[in-house]
Structure 1
């Protein structure tokens, strides 16, 4: 089966670099499925999971938004933060989720930035969801 090269890169370095049969992820405009030979495009990504299918197996990478660049033979994902499912520290993600939930509850009294707390909660929930798929 044909494959497409996929690179997931953060400011800290590469997170994933391999050939896969299909990439699925959530862009700001909706869900995207990318196969080898896909038309070139660039799209902003939502906080979510990138699903990478190869040899009847699926690997997951949690991304905190970013950008997706597609060329016929390569997909590049540039994200501020990204973690493969097996690399996610579940305890740390749970603590981040609890902190974000507490900030959302206390946001009126403490004047926390609601959008920032909400984004932190979405990132933590995404990491936990991806970690469950190991």
Structure 2
């Protein structure tokens, strides 16, 4: 029943020789003022499965954001979260610098909306004369047009809590594993270890 409903639903949303509301909706980092349902999806669902309540869509779970201000604010609002805890929540700072895969990216108030993939490196949070540095393994930075930046990392640790001797040992171990690897999987795992520990070493020396 669900398989048939989903197939008919896809046809209802994409058929008819014209673009549906869902497919023509423009992308935006600004969410509505209040949570709303996708009316086009609900209407199409009720046509093919009138006796089953429509499932929730992401819009039902997304918290509203303030609208994009008409003028650039003086501060950048930052949220920095890990899978198991929140490091920074709605904190106003001057700037953050994230280790994007395209290079170090500085984010100031009024930054253009951007999604950046993170690589192993240093995330620095600048607040006046204070700079807090974290080493992040990977993740994403979501820079919104309303001077709000959400940073989601897989793992992170303050740079001052990293043990340099363990970094050197880990780098030597993974380099040895890379040199002795015989399969593609072993080479890939060892290369990841070398890359991460090299970035850790650079964070400590930089």
For these two proteins, the number of residue pairs brought into alignment is: 132
1:50-129 paired onto structure 2 within 5 Å = 50-71=123-144, 72-108=146-182, 113-129=186-202
d(CA) in 1 for partners of 2:178, 2:141: 30
Structure 2 equivalent of residue 14 of structure 1: 86
- Greater C-alpha Rg: 2
Q: Which one scores higher on RCO, CA 8 angstroms, separation ≥ 6?
A: 1
Q: How many Å apart are 1:29 and its aligned residue?
A: 3.0
d(CA) in 2 for partners of 1:63, 1:34: 17
Structure 1 unmatched ranges of 5 or more: none
1:15–1:84 contact (8 Å) kept in structure 2: no
Structure 2 unmatched ranges of 5 or more: 1-72
Q: How many Å apart are 1:132 and its aligned residue?
A: 4.1
The structure 1 segments of at least 4 consecutive aligned residues displaced by more than 3 Å after TM superposition are 15-18
d(CA) in 2 for partners of 1:38, 1:111: 41
d(CA) in 1 for partners of 2:198, 2:161: 15
d(CA) in 2 for partners of 1:67, 1:104: 28
